[in-house]
Structure 1
Amino acid sequence: MKKKYIVKSLLAALAVVLILTGCASNGGSKKNDTEGSSKGSGVVNVFTARHYDIDFAMFDEFEKKTGITVNEIKGTAEELVERMKREGESSEADLFITVDGGVLNYAKESGVLQPIESETINGNVPAELREKENHWVALASRARVIVYAKDRVTPDQLSTYEALTDEKWKGKVLARSSSNLYNQSLVASLIELNGEEQTLEWSKGIVANFSRDPEGGDRDQAKAIVAGIGDVAIMNTYYVGQMLHSKDAEEVKVAENVGIFFPNQETTGTHLNISGIGLAAHAKNKDNALKLIEYMTSKEGQEMLTNGSFEFPTNPTAELPELLKGWGEFKKQSIDYAQLGVHNKKATELLNKAAWK
């Protein structure tokens, strides 16, 4: 059955509802199709803030295996959560997918998720990558690391996030803006580990060592390194993997000229964040929703995901792509991902105080 791609728009909520109604009529039924799902049919409505091609490919594969149609409703995480809150029991959402542990915690605290009850999922995803009451589970993780110019920096010159404030990095550090959630969550993790005062001083030290005002995304930081604008950048690992496998020859060239360093291996470990999935509080296609989570967290699903996105799989049985194997094992921060949300407001305040633009 062909997938129905549904374009999300909060400004046209009624139109979206009508579209969903049309999808349901084409797919068979809008009611909770538990009888149909047992026969490998029906639908599952996924509210997603992830917009990666590999996700779409996974949904296609799931449809082929089960006959269950995946309807995607896209938007920002905040928009989707607010819509689910507003619509309450009438919400079409069966699943919610987003990036960042703090955002997943926000969804739970907003009352739009319910516990995921599946021994299969519990077996696929380790406890530390599941919310303590099972309101969400991680689909993938990503490390926020130090990326460096291979021709100007050697790994033995690097050590910790904190060391990037040293005088030797004056005018050599690159990063995205303070409005970027990845940076906010990194700072939130440092607040959890080191406290507010120390984290504020770190933020000021990073700002003092910037080679330019923050601009662009993670890929732009790598490009700036190769252009000689800076020597080191704070980036997520998967961007380097995606650039190395890009159809754009210039992106490949950039990625080939930067190295990845996992900081804080002798101290608190490298900052890790997640992409995750939660079961909607009023899911009308609950059985189908659980089947999709089970597939996405299975060995097969996880290998498909990591080979497409170069994020780290959360199922420990999944085989890593050769690139990720080459990066080797590394020590990870040991914190509750929910704390990224708890400390987000304070992290934003500290970044503003530090004049991190």
Structure 2
Amino acid sequence: MLKATTILAGALVATVATSAAAEGELNLYSSRHYDTDERLYSDFEEATGITINRIEGKADELIARMSAEGANSPADILLTVDTSRLARAKDAGILQSTDSAVLEASIPGYLQDADNQWFGFSQRARIIFFDKAEVANPPRTYLDLADPAYKGMICIRSSSNTYNQTLLASIVTHHGADVAKDWADGVVANMARAPQGGDTDQLRGIISGECEISVANSYYFARSIRKEVKGLSAERDMIGWIFPSQDAEGAHMNLSGAGIAAHAPNRDNAVKFLEYLASEQAQQYFSAGNDEFPAVPGVGLAPSIAALGHFKPDDVNLSDVAKNIPVAQKIFNEAGWE
């Protein structure tokens, strides 16, 4: 039997490859690193009698591992975050199409791969935060972040961050590469500091006074409402937020999603797992356990997410956005976005 473990060297590949297919088991490769997902897995096991054997690691490491394992890979499911990584997995040829009436009925089409190789199961809005005492007229759209009026005011993550890559790819999708290049140039000119840290660090930058405006995913802020987050929760009231582009395309959403591995030895169990992730129980847990927006319409929100208010999400087809991720990376490089 496989054991839940972290990413290891090639010796483990030979060990698991000989026992990959097993009745009542599922081999999950996951780059989600949230302790609250333990409940998600245990509920599936209890409901189905299927044991989950989990291997965890960074998304790029898992994609490279599955590629190296090839037809001998024990992986049944790849679970990861953001459209860019899901697209990377598809391009690497390590996923397969999934025909499921349950998934088609539950997951909106714009949150699915065009070839059904991956499906989104939870969402995060990438939104604009600002110092309420210092910023009288905060940016209302993503394009506004490039306005010279905000010179020296913005904290934002590096260009290697997948959330920023997908955001820029969505700008390319909506507005074209030329507008996207001007935007990237303008944001670089408006940075208060060189990109550093994670999304929570961008929010802490407002509290410390290093910047007046930041860009971060909604769940990092919502988490500080649900529980104590060092350096953020105590001073959270000084921060306001904008769901951008409400009179246009809407707020950009990125995904946590999954697909069935190309050589899944336990394919039927893999389909059951994806269908479980689309269930109301699992969808509520994505929200309550990790402050995410459910992918399935009509599922109730956790209080920490509901506190952010109603907004219009961008419903652009994320398969189209994924095609523009290489363009986005090229633009980042040309703009000198570190």
Which of 91, 112, 121 aligns to 1:109? It is 91
Q: CA deviation at 1:78?
A: 2.4
Mapped to 1, the partners of 2:229 and 2:167 lie a distance apart of 29
Using the alignment, how far apart are the partners of 1:350 and 1:125 within structure 2?
A: 31
- How far 1:118 sits from its partner (Å)? 2.0
2:115 matched to 1:125?
A: no
Say whether the 8 Å CA contact 1:81–1:107 is kept in structure 2: yes
For residues 157 and 115 of structure 1, the distance between their equivalents in structure 2, rounded to whole angstroms, comes to: 43
Q: Distance in 1 between matches of 2:66 and 2:152?
A: 45
Q: Distance in 1 between matches of 2:17 and 2:302?
A: 37
* AA of the residue aligned to 1:116: T
Distance 2:229 2:124 in 1: 23
Instruction: Name the amino acid aligned to 2:7.
Output: K
CA change 1:6–1:157 in 2 (3 A) is: closer
Aligned match of 1:259:
240
Alignment partners' CA distance in 2, 1:322 and 1:244: 9
1:15 corresponds to which of 12, 17, 26: 12
Q: Tell me if structure 2 keeps the 8 A contact 1:121–1:297.
A: yes
Residue from 236, 242, 248 that aligns with 2:223: 242
8 Å CA contact 2:13, 2:69 repeated in 1: no
Deviation of 1:32 after TM superposition, in Å, equals: 4.8
Aligned partner (choices 302, 325, 343) of residue 283 of structure 2: 302
The amino acid that maps onto 2:284 is E
> Is 1:31 the equivalent of 2:28?
no
Worse overlay, 80-89 or 167-176: 80-89
Q: 2:134 aligns with which of 152, 167, 191?
A: 152
Deviation, structure 1 residue 152: 2.5
- The size of the alignment, in residue pairs, is 338
> How many angstroms apart in 1 are the aligned matches of 2:61 and 2:138?
43
- Offset at residue 329 of structure 1 (A): 2.8
What's the CA shift for 1:233? 0.4
Paired residue for 1:221, among 184, 199, 202?
202
- The structural deviation recorded for 1:86 is 2.5
Q: Distance in 2 between matches of 1:259 and 1:143?
A: 15
Q: What pairs with 1:84-99 in structure 2 (closer than 5 Å)?
A: 84-99=66-81
Corresponding residue of 1:281: 262
AA partner of residue 151 (structure 1): A
Contact 2:148 2:186 in 1 (8 A): no
Alpha-carbon offset, residue 272 of structure 1: 1.3
Q: Report the equivalent of 1:57.
A: 39
Partner Cα separation in structure 2 for residue 85 and residue 211 of structure 1: 40
Q: Alignment partner of 1:304: what SS?
A: helix
Alpha-carbon distance between aligned partners in 2 of 1:280 and 1:18, rounded to the nearest angstrom: 18
**Structure 1 position 159, deviation (Å):** 1.2
Return 5+ residue gaps in structure 1 as ranges: 25-29, 34-41
Q: Could you list the per-position Cα deviations for residues 174-206 of structure 1 after superposition, in whole angstroms to 9, with x for gaps in the alignment?
A: 101112111111111111111122111111111
CA 1:272 to 1:225, structure 2 compared with 1: closer, same or farther past 3 Å?
same
- Name 2:162's counterpart in structure 1: 181
Please tell me whether residue 341 in structure 1 is matched to residue 338 in structure 2: no
Paired residue type of 2:118: W
Helix, strand or coil for the counterpart of 2:256? Answer: strand
Aligned to 1:36: none
Task: Tell me the amino acid that sits aligned with residue 11 of structure 2.
Answer: L
TM-score, length basis structure 1:
0.88
Task: Output the aligned Cα RMSD.
Answer: 2.1
Moved over 4 A (4+): none
**Larger displacement relative to structure 2 (322-331 or 257-266):** 322-331
Bigger Rg over Cα: 1
